[in-house]
Amino acid sequence: CLRPSTEPVAGLQDCVEPSQVFTEPEYRPAGRQVIYRLPAGARLYADTLYRLTVYRTLDGDSPGFFAFDGAPLARTYTFDFRTHPLGGIAMDEPLPSPERYCAATRCFDDCGGDESCEQSCQPLCIEPTCYRKGAVHRQMGRFLFGPCASAGCHGSGVSFGNNSDMLTSASLDLSSSLGVAQTAIGQTAHGSQQGEASVQDDQSPERFGRAMPLIDPHNPGNSYLLYKLIIHQLNHRRPAEVIDPGLATALARLHGGALVGLAMPAETGHGPTGLVEPSEDPEGTLSRSHMDVIQAWIAHGAVLSCDQ
C-alpha cells in the first residue's frame, strides 16, 4: 500500500483513497528485487511525504510477500520517502523493451570504440545491458552464454560413442541465437516437469518451478534457466567482494525446494559425454555482473538479433 501519509496501515482494508495502485510486479531474482510501477500516466503528488507498507502474508490466500517455499516475512515493513517538488529532476522510467535494448547495442557498435561517443549511448540503455560495449548479440555463443555453451554441455552438440547424433545436455543449445530460439525460449524446462500438469506450460504454477519455461521473454522471474544460474554460489561474486555468508543457506533452500540437477555452469565432468571442456571463465562460473546481463536481456524481451 502506498499512501501520501505516515499513518499506520494495518491491512489492505485500511489502504483507502488516496492510495496508489500498482501494476503487475516485475521480479528480478538475480538481485532478489521486486519492481512495482504505477499505471501509465499516473503521478505521485509533488513534494509529498509517502509511506509504503509491505505486508506480511498470513496464509497462501492472503496478500503479502512470501518466499518460494511459502515462508512469510518476519513482520510488516514500512518505508517513508518524499517526492521531488514540481519542476524537480524526477522523470518517467523508460520501460525495458527490445527497441531500447537494440538502440543501445547499435549505438555502441556505431561508436567503433570511441569512449566519448560511447558515453552518449548511456541514456539509451538500462544497465547492465550495455555491458562490454553492447557485444551481447554479436557474440551470443561466446559471451552471453559462453560458460554454458562449451562442447559436451550446452554447446551445438558432440558425438557420443557410436551414436552419430549430436547431443547437447538436456537438449538445450545455447551456442547460437538459433539454438536459443529453438531450444530455450518458451520451452518448458525438463527439470521443472513435476506434478499432474507437467506437460502444460503453466504461467503461474501453484508450486514454484512447475512447468516453468527455460526463458520467458520479458519475465526473468519465470525463467528456469536464470534460476539454474542463481543457485551456483560462485555466480554471485563481484570483484573484491566477499560473498554474503547467508547466501549459501538461501541458495540451498531454493535448490532443494524447487530445482533439480546441478547448478550451472556445471563443473568439469558433468556433460552428457562425461567430459565438459573448460569454458572461457577459468573457474567455470559467471560473475554477478554477467548474470545481471542475462537477466536484463530476458527483461528486455530476450532479443535474438539487432541486425534488422
What residue ranges do the domains of the chain occupy?
Answer: 1-93, 100-299
CB 202 within 8 A of CB 196: no
Helices (H), the chain: 98-111, 115-119, 177-183, 224-230, 247-258, 288-299
pLDDT digits (tens, 9 = 90+) for 219-262: 999 999 999 888 887 777 665 566 677 777 888 888 877 777 77
Whether residue 71 has pLDDT greater than 70:
yes
Give the closest residue to 145 by CA, choosing from 233, 222, 226: 226
Backbone angles phi, psi at 72, to 5 degrees: -85, 170
Distances in whole angstroms, Cα of residue 102 to Cα of each of 211, 218, 303: 30, 15, 8
| Residue linked to cell 532478489 | 32
Give the closest residue to 237 by CA, choosing from 269, 296, 294, 283: 283
- The pTM of this model reads 0.73
Mean pLDDT of 51-62: 81
Among positive and negative, which fits the CA dihedral 209, 95, 38, 82? positive
pLDDT digits (tens, 9 = 90+) for 85-111: 988 776 777 778 888 777 777 777 777
Which pLDDT belongs to residue 171? 77
